[in-house]
Amino acid sequence: MKITNIPFLAILTLAACSTPEAPPAAPPPAKDTVVVKPTVREAVMGPANSAIKLVVAPPATQFPDAVLKLDTVVPNAKKLEAMYKFKVNGFDLKAQTPDAATRGCANSKDGQHIHFILNNAPYKAEYTSDFTEKANPGRNVALCFLSRSYHESLKHNSAVVVKQFTMPGKDSLAAGDVMKDPTLFYSRPKGDYKQIDGDKILLDFYLLNTDLDKDGYSVKATIDGEDWTINKWDAYFIEGLQLGKHTVRLQLMDASGKPVPGPFNDSGVREFNFLGS
């Protein structure tokens, strides 16, 4: 059998004529990266054509070293009341808050005090560190915080105390743990306001376990039937009110606009009077 030798030059020629593999395609140019900034919510939003205004109150006198501590609470089941003994540091009860004369709102002539709120009922102003107040049958939740002389709360953890205790009998409070669940307490407006003391009506509330930024919470404030959305825990002024009777209702809402469950997260309708004299 005859074997034909292929010349070495021919082999080289064939190799040179073979088609090389195509280089990998270049990656597509990278798209421009767009940084999406989180949406900043306005502190308060309301009806554009409203005759009244709800505005953030100017910064108030600060008391960064103020401390409120509950020494003892002694429930008296027979009298259905409780005695409270507090210690207050860095804050003078009965003193006038330095900026009281420039706030343009009602101010207590008796000075700085403790706001005592039991089961979200209208608060009582306590001007001494020891006092006794009536209690309710069953579960009781007492919220106490330091207040400026014009009734604006100090909103830091060292200036507030929450105390729970039980009395004989059955209560009607909705379920909820105020020590860990987002909770709203109503504070102001309350009672009668005289125009001579200022045209601004303080709207103030107290929050536990949320600051409204958490989970997109908000407070729905219904003032004389008009709905306002509050997105920042702060003090507010209601301005432009006519003389007469007015109503406010505060509700804690979740990110989807639904009420947050809890025993105090709906204040119910509160009434106050704006008087000419």
Is the pLDDT reported for residue 179 higher than 50? Answer: yes
Is the pLDDT reported for residue 111 higher than 80? Answer: yes
Q: Rounded to whole angstroms, how far apart are CA atoms 208 and 23? A: 64
DSSP 243: S
Is the pLDDT reported for residue 20 higher than 80? Answer: no
pLDDT of residue 250: 98
With beta carbons less than 8 A apart as the criterion, state whether 161 and 69 touch: yes
pLDDT of residue 3: 46
Q: Rounded to whole angstroms, how far apart are CA atoms 200 and 197? A: 9
Provide mean pLDDT across the span 120-139.
97
With beta carbons less than 8 A apart as the criterion, state whether 254 and 215 touch: yes
Mapped to the 3 state alphabet, what secondary structure does 10-68 carry?
Answer: HHHHHHHHCCCCCCCCCCCCCCCCCCCCCCCCCCEECCCCCCCEEEECCCCCCCCCCEE
With beta carbons less than 8 A apart as the criterion, state whether 127 and 110 touch: yes
Q: Rounded to whole angstroms, how far apart are CA atoms 32 and 157? A: 45
pLDDT confidence bin for 37, thresholds 50/70/90: low
pLDDT confidence bin for 254, thresholds 50/70/90: very high
pLDDT of residue 121: 96
Using the CB atoms, write b or e for 223-239: b if 16+ within 10 Å.
beeeebbbbebbbbbbe
pLDDT confidence bin for 215, thresholds 50/70/90: confident
Q: Rounded to whole angstroms, how far apart are CA atoms 210 and 181? A: 8
Is the pLDDT reported for residue 4 higher than 60? Answer: no
227-250 pLDDT, tens digit each: 999 999 999 999 999 999 999 999
192-204 pLDDT, tens digit each: 999 999 999 999 9
